[in-house]
Structure 1
Amino acid sequence: MSRAKASNASSTDETIPLAIARSPLGDDRQALALSTDLSLPYLGVASPKDIRNVSALLFLDEHGLCLQVAGKNAPGPVRAEFVTGKMGYRREHGGGSGQLVARAVGLQKTKADLHVLDATAGLGQDAFVLASLGCRVSLFERNPVIHALLADGLARASLNVDCAPIIARMTLHSGSSIDWLRNAAVDGGDDESSNQGTLADVIYLDPMFPHRVKSALVKKEMQVFRTVVGDDDDSEALLEAALAAARYRVVVKRPRKAPAIGGAEPGTRIEGKSSRYDIYPIRALPR
């Protein structure tokens, strides 16, 4: 999108749900490419707190790409970050295979090199943990905005000497994972001797948590996500497709007190302080 069109978009009184902008140190070419790929207006160099007619921005600065709610007093930026911050600390001090997501996937029960398919990748945090523990992880993120954030985070992390070997085990795909899962189930069937290229060993689902009335209880990431994503209304269809495609188990992350996804009942659960993992076993993991 040209700068002239961006200028017109930014001067109208109509509120725009989402636009592209950058800081003076943000990559102009990357911003223009995102504007074209996502068909979003490009506002050029701008300060998110000064934007009045755009709800949220995909914002490029010296730290990479982030999603930022516009206007004063908005929550801070959300980005896919694996090198520093929470994920950097978790990589170094996360607890290995004793972490809840690792236990749910079954890493304490097998020495096999598992192929995990993260069908709702989001910002890729759980996928990164599993890859750091040796899993080969395929990530699907169907929302193009979140996909762009994740792709940017993975690209930046691949340049870090400590993270590069982990990122090499992660492959990001676009589009809906439901279609892939259904096709895999048809093509791969239930052939125990088939390789991992068709069926994933474990399929991991983390659909958008149900909306909570008290917004203070929702993490910053979820508040910002809802400006562009909303809820996942096809969770039952996704679970059904995953159960038909997974080799050993399906794992679903849920709020601790939320009901299970409709359909098949989980075989067991692992609970944490705020969330839990519903486990749907299909066959025993290899030793």
Structure 2
Amino acid sequence: MIASAPRILVQPLAPVYRAAAEQWAARLGLPLDGEAEFALQLGDEGLQLVELGPQAPGPVRVDFVGGAVAHRRRFGGGSGQMIAKAVGVQPGVRPRVLDATAGLGRDAFVLASLGCELTLIERQPIIAALLEDGLARAASDAEVGPIVARMRLLSGDAIRLMQAWAGEAPQVIYLDPMFPHRDKSALVKKEMRLFRPLVGDDLDAPALLEAALALASHRVVVKRSRKAPAIAGAKPGYSLDGKSSRYDIYPLRKLQA
């Protein structure tokens, strides 16, 4: 996916986090010292990824309790949000959803906050670590804990995991392959600057879509930049367009209460 992986170290921000940093370093196969372009830091606010250098943006972490995620949960429009419509949320219907490209888990959290049961897959180990940490911290919050209890995280390659799926199939599979997002917000630009060297573009998106269509029982939903072409392969049945992105829907069966 990428020509050469950037060098990343694990960095405790206080001596009390040294043992936890050693555990993460061992899990992820990362050094604790030396020269690096990025650092996975442990501190009072949890696990965070930061680019090192004088012109680098600030750190990125997963926070389901406060900030923009909390604002969206309280004032984001509930089941009227476009993503809710795309996956089929409606009165009496809360689909079981597999988010096969979980990233920082924001879209999955929106769906979980609306009552959907979510399985999340993230294949980039460092992003999966940020997500795991964010879920663990949110679990102890009285208001958010019941929401993240509906979110189960799997770390690994989504295509292989879907092809080897055991048990009941997800009703809806949600895909948001990495692409040049047109969202110009400072937050998204900072995250893209951090993650693109780690992730690159999802060149296997057609295979991801094929595996999703083979597994989902009711529909597959793909988030795309509004003007981007559909993923190569099967054609979507219809799309929902927003200001900067759209949702391509591949219906298989009707979702019913």
Match of 2:177 in 1: 207
Match of 2:38 in 1: 56
Match of 1:152 among 124, 133, 143: 133
> Which piece of structure 1 moves more, 175-184 or 247-256?
175-184
Secondary structure of 1:237 counterpart: helix
CA radius of gyration, larger in: 1
> Which piece of structure 1 moves more, 97-106 or 23-32?
23-32
Match of 1:30 in 2: 20
Identity %: 55
Match of 1:116 among 93, 97, 118: 97
CA distance in 2, matches of 1:217, 1:90: 14
Using a 3 Å threshold, how does the CA distance of structure 1 residues 180 and 282 change in structure 2: closer, same or farther?
same
Is 2:211 the partner of 1:241? yes
Normalising by structure 1, we get a TM-score of 0.83
In structure 2, give the amino acid aligned to 1:121: A
Normalising by structure 2, we get a TM-score of 0.92
Q: What does 1:242-261 correspond to in 2, within 5 Å?
A: 242-261=212-231
CA distance in 2, matches of 1:95, 1:270: 16
C-alpha deviation, 1:92, in angstroms: 1.2
Greater relative contact order (CA < 8 Å, ≥ 6 in sequence): 2
CA distance in 2, matches of 1:113, 1:100: 15
In structure 2, give the amino acid aligned to 1:41: P
Secondary structure of 2:208 counterpart: helix
Q: Which blocks of at least 5 consecutive residues in structure 1 are unaligned? A: 1-14, 44-50, 188-196
CA distance in 1, matches of 2:135, 2:239: 30
Match of 2:150 in 1: 169
Q: Which blocks of at least 5 consecutive residues in structure 2 are unaligned? A: none
CA distance in 2, matches of 1:268, 1:243: 15
Using a 3 Å threshold, how does the CA distance of structure 1 residues 218 and 81 change in structure 2: closer, same or farther?
closer
CA distance in 2, matches of 1:121, 1:37: 20
User: Contact 2:10–2:31 (CA<8 Å) still a contact in 1?
Assistant: yes
CA distance in 2, matches of 1:89, 1:254: 24
User: Contact 1:25–1:61 (CA<8 Å) still a contact in 2?
Assistant: no
CA distance in 1, matches of 2:117, 2:181: 32
Match of 2:241 in 1: 271
Match of 1:221 in 2: 191
CA distance in 2, matches of 1:170, 1:41: 30
C-alpha deviation, 1:22, in angstroms: 2.1
Quote the RMSD (CA, aligned, Å): 2.2
User: Contact 2:8–2:38 (CA<8 Å) still a contact in 1?
Assistant: yes
CA distance in 1, matches of 2:237, 2:30: 44
Match of 1:286 in 2: 256
